[in-house]
């Protein structure tokens, strides 16, 4: 695999605050274009899209609607949208104060498979959290990044990961709770777990965290862990 120039390797895009439905449509278009390019042996433009969504609950293709703890009428009253989508993982919440990253990547070009990709996404988050003095960890059998994973009753999730991959092209990605209002997670069993909590960087650091700084930190780790 020849070494590509930096600007050909990866493009970072920030969609800012965007409704989930619009982001999904735009992401799907980029994904389909990347798939078409791959079919026609045209190099895929690797992109990582950052954004923030208004309140929304999404359920993965194998997710359980039983993990939605309130009727849709309650969601409507709270201005929370609901979507079932074509990613792995169960149920999760996106909302203000949470950074969502959607990498559209050609894993074959990068030289690793889906399992290694998910491992590297977790590492991007773990290293970013470490820069803020927060110890993120992996939990066996549970994708994402956790805090206090071995302490009974204290394990809590700070970042969720759910991806789709076709012909080595990825979409969907990760969601990191930065200044997220965690009360919205009470509407669901996050990622299907009934005995584990959720966390945010704000909660752990005891202060509001600068979202742009975190995006920059994530970008640095994405470059280091996916493109070197």
- Where in the sequence numbering do the catalytic residues fall? 191
b/e map 149-184, b = 16+ CB within 10 Å:
beeeeebbbbbbbbbbbeebbbbbbbbbbbbbebeb
Q: Tell me the C-alpha distance between 121 and 38, whole Å.
A: 23
Q: Tell me the C-alpha distance between 45 and 166, whole Å.
A: 16
Q: Tell me the C-alpha distance between 164 and 104, whole Å.
A: 10
Name beta bridge partners: 174: 101, 161
Contact predicate 91/188, CB 8 Å: yes
């Amino acid at each position: 695999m020849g070494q590509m120039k930096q600007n050909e390797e990866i493009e970072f895009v920030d969609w800012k605050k965007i409704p989930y439905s619009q982001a999904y449509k735009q992401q799907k278009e980029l994904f389909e274009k990347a798939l078409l390019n791959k079919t026609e042996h045209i190099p895929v433009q690797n992109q990582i899209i950052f954004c923030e969504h208004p309140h929304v609950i999404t359920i993965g293709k194998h997710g359980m609607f039983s993990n939605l703890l309130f009727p849709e009428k309650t969601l409507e009253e709270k201005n929370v949208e609901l979507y079932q989508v074509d990613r792995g993982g169960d149920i999760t919440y996106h909302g203000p104060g949470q950074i969502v990253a959607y990498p559209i990547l050609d894993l074959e070009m990068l030289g690793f498979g889906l399992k290694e990709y998910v491992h590297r996404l977790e590492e991007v988050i773990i290293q970013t959290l470490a820069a803020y003095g927060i110890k993120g960890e992996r939990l066996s059998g549970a994708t994402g990044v956790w805090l206090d994973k071995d302490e009974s009753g204290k394990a809590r999730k700070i970042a969720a990961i759910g991806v789709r991959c076709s012909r080595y092209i990825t979409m969907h990605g990760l969601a990191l709770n930065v200044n997220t209002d965690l009360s919205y997670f009470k509407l669901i069993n996050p990622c299907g777990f009934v005995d584990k909590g959720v966390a945010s960087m704000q909660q752990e650091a005891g202060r509001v965290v600068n979202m742009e700084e975190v995006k920059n930190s994530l970008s640095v780790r994405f470059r280091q862990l996916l493109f070197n």
